Amino acid sequence: MADRLIRGITVDGFVQVCAVECTGMVERARQIHGTLPLATAALGRTLAACSMMGSMLKSDEGSLTIQVRGGGPLGAITAVADAQGNTRGYLQNPAVSLPLRPDGKLDVGGGVGREGLLTVIKDIGAGEPFSGKVQLRSGEIAEDIAGYYAESEQIPTVCALGVLVDRDQSVKAAGGYLVQLLPGASDALIGRLEQSFQTLPSLTSLLSQGLDIQQVMERALEGLGFEVLSSQPVAYECKCSREKVERALLSMGKQELEQLIAAGEPAHVTCQFCDAEYVFEVEELKKLLEKAKGV
């Protein structure tokens, strides 16, 4: 099933939904970063959340960044999405593994850590980016994202994020959903939703049974009349380019450039998101230094 992001609403207008199936996106991240299963799950959950939250930006030119710093052995996680939900990301220590939890699941909370912050940065391409920070609750990511919405945006949110890793360590299924209550929702509706989500099988088990993301949400919101408003493809997508790397080198300043030139070797710059390597010969570095001096 190709990666797809959907947005929708229930007929009464009180429940808004964003959901993504992103197995290909998370598998691509695994291949680029060589993540072991624990890191695949932690990064994959963050990518799924970021893709959905990016797609909810109100500007087509915007981007949304999620940073998770929980103090655990996996280190910091960073994901960036565009307003269409295309996402990239990395984490500090892709080769960390921990014993499985007693219930047989990957210990994502233990890997991420619980002592730290989840930061969301929304850049709509104009003015100062908005930044919201909340304390991590469990390090399991989904609960932390729900906490972000409750604290930072005052929107009651049910969040599920899942990554199912296959025996060969490839990604078997990955996805997520954000179900949000809009102002005016009744207590009865809230109770009904809570019950529905408590009895719903995990997202990755439904996806790996062959349901697509729309069918999953129809099942989750059965009886509420779920209508899909938009559906779009999403992918792992890096936006790096030689021009952007040049700008980054320029922004390091003259001294740093002079040091690189003095080293007498080509400079190799690797993109953290996609592992693309950009090589700058000494002559090119000298040209950049001239530019830096001209500013």
Positions touching Zn ion (CB under 5 A) are 238, 240, 271, 273-274, 276
Closest CA to 139 of 103, 111, 161: 111
Alpha helices per DSSP H over the chain: 23-33, 37-55, 108-112, 142-152, 187-199, 203-208, 213-220, 242-252, 254-263, 282-294
Buried b (16+ CB within 10 A) or exposed e, 8-20: bbbeeebbbbbbb
Q: What is the DSSP letter of 236?
A: B
The distance of closest approach from Cβ of residue 254 to Zn ion in the complex, given in angstroms and rounded to an integer, is 26
The distance of closest approach from Cβ of residue 278 to Zn ion in the complex, given in angstroms and rounded to an integer, is 9
Residue closer to Zn ion (CB basis): 218 or 237 = 237
Residue closer to Zn ion (CB basis): 90 or 149 = 90
**116 to 110, 119, 138, 143, 206: CA distances (angstroms):** 13, 10, 10, 14, 32
Residue closer to Zn ion (CB basis): 21 or 82 = 82
The distance of closest approach from Cβ of residue 272 to Zn ion in the complex, given in angstroms and rounded to an integer, is 8
Q: What is the DSSP letter of 226?
A: E
**Bridge partners, 68 (sequence order):** 77, 118
The distance of closest approach from Cβ of residue 73 to Zn ion in the complex, given in angstroms and rounded to an integer, is 25
The distance of closest approach from Cβ of residue 276 to Zn ion in the complex, given in angstroms and rounded to an integer, is 5
173: Cα within 13 Å, side-chain hemisphere: 16
Residue closer to Zn ion (CB basis): 276 or 282 = 276
Tokens 């992001």 belong to 5
The distance of closest approach from Cβ of residue 282 to Zn ion in the complex, given in angstroms and rounded to an integer, is 24
Residue closer to Zn ion (CB basis): 168 or 243 = 243
Residue closer to Zn ion (CB basis): 165 or 271 = 271
